[in-house]
Homo-oligomer: A and B are copies of this chain.
Amino acid sequence: MIAVDWGTSSFRAWRLAADGAVLDAREAPRGILFVKDGKFAETLRTEIGDWLAAGERHVVMSGMIGSRQGWVEAPYLPCPAGLPDLAMALVRVPFSDADLRLVPGLTCTDAAGVPEVMRGEETQVASTLTEGASVICLPGSHSKWVRARAGRIIDFATCFAGEMFAALRSATILGRMMTDAPIEFAPFDRGVARSGEPGHLLHHLFGVRTLGLMGRLADADSAAYLSGLLIGHEIRAAMPRDTEVDLIGTDALCTLYARAIAACDGRVGAVNAGSAQRGLAMIGERVRWD
């Protein structure tokens, strides 16, 4: 089968053997944002047409390709949901070259009845589900904190953390002093520590400015400090106290979140035990293909 993780900014595909082994892999900057005029079929043929020509007939896709802005909209499946639920709810995409199915996103509501959504992360998380209870954090523009039990995702909460960081950096006075220096651990840790001090996020944010003004935070350190401050606030607010947290994400973000979780008296469990490729393979195993 072919597994495709087709997100907002990138396209990734794997050709998989019957036992799930990766035979070949592709990656391209062809996220749905960069596909013009709905030419998704053409883009798919461009990227993996040779695999289809070689006889692959079964394709499972996850990510924003199933959103309203994607190829076909796959409605959100309500939680709780696990691998069998996702496999049952796949949405067919009309495509002459193969039997093409979309993994739906998931939805739940928070304590006040406000909806939550994810699309793409459910596939990564699904590959790690066990009979026990777990908490999985997927850091990113819109970080997800997922609670799972008995093989199913129970519910989840989104934090507007990564995109907040980018907006504060690009569009406020806090970003004016920031440099392109890489995120160093020392100022990052200082920001995480600050997030635990008296006060609140909106107050702590102004401190990024005053510490710089008073010569107590170097320009080159201020982006790392802000990152630590936001991630620290996110973790203190979103992390359950009584269980370890598994992480799924880029190495850079997982490293930062692991440091911050430890600094906030949390425990990190598995890092990147789950992946889109693995989840797509596991969902694909459960599909009754035509």
Within 8 A of B (CB), among A75-131: 110-112, 114-117
Within 8 A of B (CB), among A180-216: 194, 197-207, 210-211, 213-214, 216
Task: Classify the secondary structure of A's interface with B.
Answer: helix
How far in angstroms is the closest Cβ of chain B from A216?
Answer: 7
Interface residue tally for chain A (C-beta within 8 Å): 45
Measured between alpha carbons, how far is A171 from B157 in the docked complex, in Å? 22
CB-CB < 8 A to A157: which residues of B? Answer: 199, 203
The count of identical subunits is: 2
- Interface membership of A28, Cβ < 8 A: no
- Interface membership of A142, Cβ < 8 A: yes
How far in angstroms is the closest Cβ of chain B from A221?
Answer: 15
Using a CB–CB distance below 8 Å, which chain A residues touch chain B? 110-112, 114-117, 142, 157-161, 163-164, 166-168, 170-174, 194, 197-207, 210-211, 213-214, 216, 230, 233-234, 237-238
Q: Knowing A116-B210, A172-B167, A173-B163 touch, does A238 contact B201 (C-beta < 8 A)?
A: no
Q: Determine which residue in A115, A174, A202, A204 has the highest number of CB atoms from chain B within 10 A of its CB, and name it.
A: A202
How far in angstroms is the closest Cβ of chain B from A177?
Answer: 13
